[in-house]
Structure 1
């Protein structure tokens, strides 16, 4: 059994979903591990990770609109240290989660046909985000 880990950085353009699937596939291929489990952790409290539809962009548009309705910006939050999008970003990260696990089978992520791995940026402005990655397998 072998293990590997790293921290990958991604630039986000602001609120939205950045597809990081290709980066995960590249890192996995370079590892040489064929079967195992990859774990991802977003190292931030106002961004998150999710596996979602990778073909129809409208899915991500609708998801963003849904999150806006669940955690709208406004002056009704006590925590607003970094502006009106601060607390809603924390709530959205709570709803979507900061970690993922994906099986690795025959050297490939065991994602479904229409699934991709996304880094969700919940703040309005661009950020450089870190994702810790751990892979265990053979």
Structure 2
């Protein structure tokens, strides 16, 4: 699906990059770009973005770019993205069921994934993990 962005939006730059430039970056490279932005009134937003980027990197998804379509993600990638989204949510008392969330992950990434699952639990949720 091709979404058109008007000329003014395409020509706007933040820390030397357009929206298209940032979307083409790997998530692991976005952290460095965020560090170049003067916080000012957007400091809370920048902190939230940094936390999301860090969580994506921690669970081994730093190689993804924002311009990748959701339909091209594997089931495991999609599940891990949902985990990051739920970590940022203020909802509590939710029951989450994850089906093999660590499949295909490097042992280092499994440790990080377990820490994120524990953080989700520690927010007052029930987390069930099914590993076959």
TM-score band (shorter)? under 0.3
Q: Relative to total residues, which structure has the larger strand share, 1 or 2?
A: 1
TM-score scaled to structure 1, two decimals?
A: 0.21
Q: Relative to total residues, which structure has the larger helix share, 1 or 2?
A: 2
TM-score scaled to structure 2, two decimals?
A: 0.22
